[in-house]
Amino acid sequence: MVWVPLRPTRTDRRALLCAPTPRSTTMSLEWLMGWTWSLDGLRDFIATGIQSFRDCDATALAAVACLLVLFVWYCYHVGREQPRAYATVNALMQSAEANGVQNGYVYCHSPECVRCTHHDGLNQKLYHNLQEYAKRYSWSGMGRIHKGIREQGRYLNSRPSIQKPEVFFLPDLPTMPYFSRDAQKHDVELLERNFQTILCEFETLYKAFSNCSLPQGWKMNSTPSGEWFTFYLVNQGMCVPRNCRRCPRTYRLLGSLRTCIGNNVFGNACISVLSPGTVIAEHYGPTNIRIRCHLGLKTPSNCELVVGGEPQCWAEGRCLLFDDSFLHTAFHEGAPEDGPRVVFMVDLWHPNVAAAERQALDFIFAPGR
């Protein structure tokens, strides 16, 4: 003979499951101790449990489940994601200050800097950076970069003397000393529309030259003759905080450019000033993946830019685009009363570098990598 205890009602069971008080917990244990392990009893027990969960708000349970799934996905995504190259303006400024800014100019103190390193281990370092990028993202679209890194020594040594980038050459890019304005039409037009804004901020800066020979934030560059000054907002991919604060509208304008090279050692933005009688020695830029844009701010006569043996003149309020991996020079042969030649210089992506390649090159040539 099997003793079967009196079954509590369905309502009583739900109360026991959904509101576990110390007393109800004791009752539940006593009830389960005396339960007959018959199929009917097991079936009723399962049905009661399911009904109890249904009676507890099903919408709330579903919402909690969704939130848990989203939280797990977020943790996974953040854990594997490469930190963003671009942060807020304040973050960029803090980063630059932490890495050493002297007189408003970022100096490279690391012998491992890709931009400043010229040794046999450079190609291995670049290839390691490419492999790290491919592991995080994909090898898709990396064929040209892979080819360039693999045969970098041959490319740099076999280039004609008219074009010899010093650090990195990306193969199969169209080469020409100058580019038409349509190469980066949006950014060219945006810069030209803001010509007066940039000019006004320069004139405010330049007043400081009447008080001292080299005001804070300016850098004097080596030249065979004359004086060449630069005021960097971005130098080798690093924001120069103090200078950016003094040219806030110009710096904000950089964020509106679609093809400005940002967190990359090949990216620069500065005001460049040539005094009368100045000649810049012929030199090559570090890479062919960029085109350099000069917006004329003050362009007296007898000033010229020569790229690949081809001379061009600046014009106020107009942009001039050129590939600085070609041998180039500039000079100002005007009289002292003509005043300085002034341009706003910014580095833009070469129009034939694809979006996937830009992302990879930003990773490979990130400052400090």
Residue 346 lies in a domain: yes
Average pLDDT, the chain: 80
**How does residue 157 score in pLDDT terms, banded at 50, 70 and 90?**
confident
Does pLDDT of 144 surpass 90?
yes
CA pair distance 88, 155, nearest whole angstrom: 37
Instruction: Please report whether residue 358 resides in a domain.
Output: no
pLDDT at 316 over 60: yes
If one compares 313 and 102, the residue with the highest pLDDT of the two is: 313
Structure-model confidence comparison of residues 236 and 153, the more confident one: 236
Domain for residue 278, yes or no? yes
pLDDT of amino acid 357 = 97
With a cut of 90, say whether residue 62 has pLDDT above it.
no
Residue 128, beta-bridge partner list: none
206 found inside a domain: yes
Whether 66 shows a pLDDT value over 90: the answer reads no
Check residue 213 and give its pLDDT. 77
How many domains would you assign to the chain? 1
Output 1-6 pairs: Cβ under 8 A, ≥24 positions apart. 2/36, 3/34, 3/36, 4/36, 5/31, 5/34, 5/35, 5/36
Looking at residue 347, which CATH number applies to its domain? 2.60.120.330
* SS3 at position 88: coil
DSSP 3-state of 256:
helix
pLDDT at 174 over 80: yes
What is the model's pLDDT at position 116? 53
Q: Is residue 1 part of a domain?
A: no
CA separation for the pair 61, 67 (Å, rounded)? 10
Q: What's the domain range around 281? A: 181-353
- With a pLDDT cut of 70, the percent of the chain lying above it is 71
Residue-level pLDDT at 153: 78
- Residue 189 forms part of a structural domain: yes
Checking if the pLDDT of 118 tops 60, the result is no
pLDDT for 73: 73
In the predicted model, what is the mean pLDDT of residues 309-321? 97
Among 216, 215, 255, CA closest to 234: 255
Predicted confidence (pLDDT) at residue 42 exceeds the cutoff of 90: no
The whole-model pTM stands at 0.70
What confidence tier does 84 reach under pLDDT thresholds 50, 70, 90?
Answer: very low
- What are 355-365's pLDDT values in tens digits? 999 999 999 99
With cut-offs at 50, 70 and 90, classify the pLDDT of residue 10. very low
pLDDT recorded at residue 45 = 63
Average the pLDDT over 328-338 and give the result: 95
Question: Higher confidence at residue 84 or residue 366?
Answer: 366
Residue 236 lies in a domain: yes
Q: Furthest-apart CA pair in the chain: how many Å?
A: 122
Report yes or no on 316 lying in a domain. Answer: yes
pLDDT in tens, 289-304: 999 999 999 999 999 9
Count of Cβ atoms closer than 10 Å to residue 365 Cβ: 25
The phi-psi region of residue 355 (left if phi > 0; otherwise alpha if psi is between -120 and 50; otherwise beta) is: alpha
Question: Residue 13 pLDDT more than 50?
Answer: no
| pLDDT-based confidence at residue 34 (cuts at 50, 70, 90) | low
**Position 37 pLDDT exceeds 70:** no
What pLDDT does 49 receive? Answer: 59
Of residues 327 and 154, more confidence is placed in: 327
| 29 has a pLDDT exceeding 80 | no
